[in-house]
Amino acid sequence: MPGIRILQNKVSLDPMSSQLKFAGPGVREDVLSFHRSIEGYEQTPLAELKGLADQLELGSIRIKDESFRFGLNSFKSLGASYAIARTFGLSKLEIANTDVTLVTATDGNHGRAVAWAATRVGARSLIFIPDGADPKRISAIEAEGAEVREGGINYENAIECAISVSKAESHVLIQDTAWDGYEEVPELITQGYFTMVAEALEQSGWKWPSHVFIQAGVGSLAAGVIGAFYSYREKSVPKFVIVEPQGAACVFESAKHGRLITIEGRHETLMACLSCGRASSSAWELLEQTASAFVSCDDETTLDGMRVLSQPTGDDPAVLSGVSGAVTAGLLYELMQDSECSEYRDFLGLGPESNVLLFSTEGPLV
């Protein structure tokens, strides 16, 4: 199993902890109501993969396909729209009486989402992206009305550019990662992701998952998914498995060392939207107390996931996932098929009674 590293973690968070104040039931309901008010809102599909579950000897597998979200090919609009509206004191995503430029750094999807939401509140947007980004990602951001600039060799360099310009030119920074002194906007973005969980549970007929596999770049998505589950106070939480690319496994390395670790240099991975060198400080504080396992995977794992999802088993629907969206499916497939993974299956408790929830966070890059 050379392409996968797994680190077991002890869940230690008290469900009544004040650290979960950001994830109350009222917040979840407010977020969902906000997204429902946006023109074009529809629930994204939740696919039940019965054939694959039977093949892998699991109780059920469901995957939320975020490629359909607001026509933007990823889940990121949920966080960006909620944060931008609340930053301007808006109850809906609507034109505000403002003359500002929103600035962010991105590996692709977040920048596109910020540009899309900025247009809808009447703001301009300036997006920094690492050097050498796929031209298709840049074109998709520009198509939403943004100015795009290169910002160094990695995501962290791009963030530094965004911070510098926002301060120098009095722009508004809408970043999806937190650090000391910058927590409010990232928390709003994280809360915006609650909608995915609320929809998935409703669509499944409230069949509660035993396991949730979720991707991590800086960790804000994972924190949002975990926070959403903790917001259902009357329920026991699933086991959360946090999944990253080996070329940018900042959360995995932080868990391994017991503190925030920065991965320097250019991050070599196909999973561009998970290519981050340092975790969000607030997300990390939650993940280290709530994850059952941290996993880093090679690119072959996500390519396997794309194949498994696009070439379905039996009568399962096909799910067309992107390279950052399919890694959890690839990991689950390998864990259940590879004889060398029996130890990991055992400590995660994966078996015929397991109900697994996955998120395909993006569609293919077109």
In tens, the pLDDT along 89-107 reads 999 999 987 789 999 999 8
Helix (H) or strand (E) holding 52: helix 50-56
Mean predicted confidence (pLDDT) in 219-244: 96
Residues 29 and 102 in one domain: no
- In a shared domain, residues 109 and 207: no
Structure confidence at residue 1 (pLDDT): 60
β pairing state of 239-245 and 291-297: parallel
Nearest-Å Rg of the Cα atoms of the chain is 19
- The verdict on whether 76 is a catalytic residue reads yes
366, part of any domain: no
- Identify whether residues 196 and 296 lie together within a single domain: yes
Residues 213 and 295 in one domain: yes
What's the rounded mean pLDDT across residues 142-165? 95
Domain count, the chain: 2
Dump pLDDT digits (tens) for 280-302.
999 999 999 999 999 999 999 99
Asked whether residue 365 is domain-assigned, the answer is: no
Spell 172-191 as b/e; 16+ CB within 10 A means b.
bbbbbbbeeeeeebbbbbbb
Of 175, 204, 229, which residue sits at a domain end?
175
Last residue of a domain, one of 149, 175, 201: 175
Same domain as 23, residue 86: no
315 and 195 part of one domain: yes
Cα dihedral value 323, 282, 234, 225, nearest 10? -10
Work out the average pLDDT over 232-248.
95
Residue whose pair of structure tokens reads 């722009």 in the numeric block: 171
Q: What is the CATH number of the domain that holds 161?
A: 3.40.50.1100
Tens-place pLDDT, residues 41-60: 999 999 999 999 999 999 99
Cα torsion through 24, 26, 28, 31, rounded to 10: -130
pLDDT at 366: 78
- What percent of the chain is predicted at pLDDT more than 90? 91
- What's the burial of 208, exposed, middle or buried (CB within 10 Å: 0-12/13-18/19+)? middle
Helix (H, G, I), strand (E, B) or coil at 215: strand
Mean pLDDT to the nearest integer, 238-259:
97
What's the pLDDT score for residue 206?
Answer: 96
Q: How sure is the predictor about 266, in pLDDT bands with cuts at 50, 70 and 90?
A: confident
Asked about 107 being catalytic, the answer comes back as yes
β-sheet bridge partners, residue 357: 62, 212
Residues 82 and 44 in one domain: no
Q: Among residues 10, 30, 65, 76, which one is catalytic? A: 76
Segments forming the whole domain that contains residue 105: 77-175
Residues 69, 85, single domain; the answer is no
In a shared domain, residues 244 and 157:
no
Read off the pLDDT of each residue in 7-34 and give the average, rounded to a whole number: 93
- How many CB atoms within 10 Å of residue 285? 17
Neighbours of 128 (CB within 10 A): 25
- In the set 14, 30, 99, 107, the catalytic residue is 107
